[in-house]
Amino acid sequence: MVIDRIDTVCFRNIKKASLEFSESFNFISGSNAQGKTNLLEAIHFFSLGRSFRTRRYEELVQFGEEYFFLRLRGRSDTGIDIRLEAGYEKGGRIRGSVNGKRLSGIAEIIGIVPSVIFTAQDIEIASGPPGYRRTFLDYTAAQISPLFLSDLKEYRRVIRHRNSLLRRYAGNGDPRGELPAWDEMLVEKGAAIVKGREETLREISSRAARLYGQISPGAEELRLAYSCSFNAPGGDTREALREALENSRENERRRGYTLCGPQYDDILLTLGEAELRKYGSQGRRRLVAVILKLTQALTIMERRAERPVVLLDDIFSELDEETTVRVRKHLTDRYQSFITSPREDDFPEGKEKSARFRVLGGACERVAPI
Partner 1 sequence: MNYGLPPLQDLIEYFKKLPGVGEKTARRLGFAILDMDDREVKGFAETLLQIKEKIGFCNRCGNFAEGEICGICSDKSRLEGILCIVERPADLYILEASGQYRGRYHVLHGVLSPLDGVGPDDLNLEKLKSRVDEEGIKELLIATNPSVEGDTTSLYIARMFKDRSIRVTRPARGIPLGSSLEFVDKSTISKALEKREPI
Ligand X SMILES: Nc1ncnc2c1ncn2[C@@H]1O[C@H](COP(=O)(O)OP(=O)(O)OP(=O)(O)O)[C@@H](O)[C@H]1O
Is 93 a residue that touches partner 1 (CB under 8 A)?
A: no
How many C-beta neighbours within 10 Å does residue 37 have? 21
Is 37 a residue that touches Mg ion (CB under 5 A)?
A: yes
The option from partner 1, Mg ion, ligand X, none interacting with 150 (CB < 5 to 8 A, set by class) reads partner 1
Residues of span 326-355 touching ligand X by CB under 6 A: 342
Sign of the CA dihedral running 356, 358, 362, 364: negative
Closest approach, Cβ 154 to partner 1, in A, equals 5
Is 205 a residue that touches ligand X (CB under 6 A)?
A: no
Per DSSP bridges, beta strands 337-341 and 25-29 are parallel
The option from Mg ion, partner 1, ligand X, none interacting with 177 (CB < 5 to 8 A, set by class) reads partner 1
How many C-beta neighbours within 10 Å does residue 156 have? 13
Window 172-191: contact mask with Mg ion (x via CB under 5 A)? --------------------
The option from Mg ion, ligand X, partner 1, none interacting with 190 (CB < 5 to 8 A, set by class) reads none
Rounded distance between C-alpha atoms, residue 88 and residue 67, angstroms = 5
Nearer residue to partner 1 within complex by CB, 256 or 350: 256
Rounded distance between C-alpha atoms, residue 263 and residue 36, angstroms = 34
* Residue 248 exposed, middle or buried by CB count within 10 Å (0-12, 13-18, 19+): middle
Nearer residue to partner 1 within complex by CB, 146 or 348: 146
The option from Mg ion, ligand X, partner 1, none interacting with 158 (CB < 5 to 8 A, set by class) reads partner 1
Q: What is the DSSP string of 175-192?
A: TT--HHHHHHHHHHHHHH
Window 177-206: contact mask with partner 1 (x via CB under 8 A)? xx-xxx-xx--xx-----------------
Nearer residue to ligand X within complex by CB, 330 or 356: 356
The option from Mg ion, ligand X, partner 1, none interacting with 13 (CB < 5 to 8 A, set by class) reads ligand X
CB 278 within 8 A of CB 234: no
User: Phi/psi of residue 227, each to 5°?
Assistant: -120, 100
Nearer residue to Mg ion within complex by CB, 213 or 342: 342
Rounded distance between C-alpha atoms, residue 33 and residue 113, angstroms = 27
Is 160 a residue that touches partner 1 (CB under 8 A)?
A: yes
Sign of the CA dihedral running 283, 197, 121, 43: positive
Summarize as ranges the residues that interact with Mg ion (CB under 5 A): 37
